[in-house]
Amino acid sequence: MISYYVIQAAGEGRRHPSVFPVLQHRRENQTALKESVGQIHLRKQRTTKSRDQSWIVRRLGENMSSDEDVAAASRHIHFIGKKENIIQARRVVKSVGERDILVIYHQGDFYAIDVRCYHSGGPLQEGDIEDFDGRTCIVCPWHKYKITLAEGEGLYQAVDPSVKPLKPTWCSKGIKQRVHSVTVSNEDVFLTLNDSPGPIDSDHYQTEKYRNTFLKDGQKKTK
């Protein structure tokens, strides 16, 4: 999954309804929202510099057909910060909605991933970033699990004993860590939560129990 989008201006959506079609299904919302953010920022240059959530929702509302769509927008798109600040910081942890998310800038790309490791809740914001089998991964500092930044796949090495000489190869455990979309518009960075149905292992460490424990104790107790 490509996690870095540069949004192209979509033009005057209200004059050309095809640019912002009426949303018929929830699953179409994310694409429409990305387009909407692009338009929002064109208009923003001519109006106010406010970036609060209510402002985003108000502007999204201009291009949406129902209160339900606006409510969906407020749940999914979140302002993270100025692009140059995140590039400088390289890593930012934000509480977004009911999740704690790690936003990373690495070699020209932005990534967003649940901050606590799917294995046992390790603090991924302290992990090294390395390439394994040509894939960019964050390495959990607690037990060294490797997680691809773009997809949230758990990677591991395996050896087929029937093949001589023995040679370890990289394998995937599948998606283990929930990753989210990062949208860059003008100089602002937004995050769209991945609300795909079905549990992903890292969801376990986003429950209230773990959020409270980790936030209070600095993520050290359950190592």
Q: In terms of residues, how long is the chain?
A: 223
In this structure, what are the phi and psi dihedrals at residue 122, rounded to the nearest 5 degrees?
A: -60, 155
Q: Which is nearer to ligand FES, 106 or 223 (CB)?
A: 223
Of 48-56, 140-148, 186-194, 196-204, the segment contacting ligand FES by CB under 6 A is 140-148
Using CB under 6 A, pick the residue from 26, 43, 51, 143 that binds ligand FES.
143
Residue 115, judged by CB atoms within 10 A of its CB (0-12, 13-18, 19+), counts as buried
CB 82 within 8 A of CB 189: yes
3-state secondary structure of 200: coil
Helix 53-61 / helix 29-46 crossing angle, nearest 10 deg:
110
Using CB under 6 A, pick the residue from 59, 119, 176, 178 that binds ligand FES.
119
Q: How far apart are CA 103 and CA 86, in angstroms?
A: 8
Q: Which is nearer to ligand FES, 112 or 124 (CB)?
A: 124
> Is residue 120 part of the contact set for ligand FES (CB under 6 A)?
yes
Of 15-23, 95-103, 113-121, 161-169, the segment contacting ligand FES by CB under 6 A is 113-121
Which residues is 81 bridged to in the sheet?
A: 189
Q: Which is nearer to ligand FES, 35 or 201 (CB)?
A: 201
In angstroms, what is the minimal distance from the CB of 116 to ligand FES? 8
Residues contacting ligand FES: total by CB under 6 A: 9
In angstroms, what is the minimal distance from the CB of 169 to ligand FES? 21
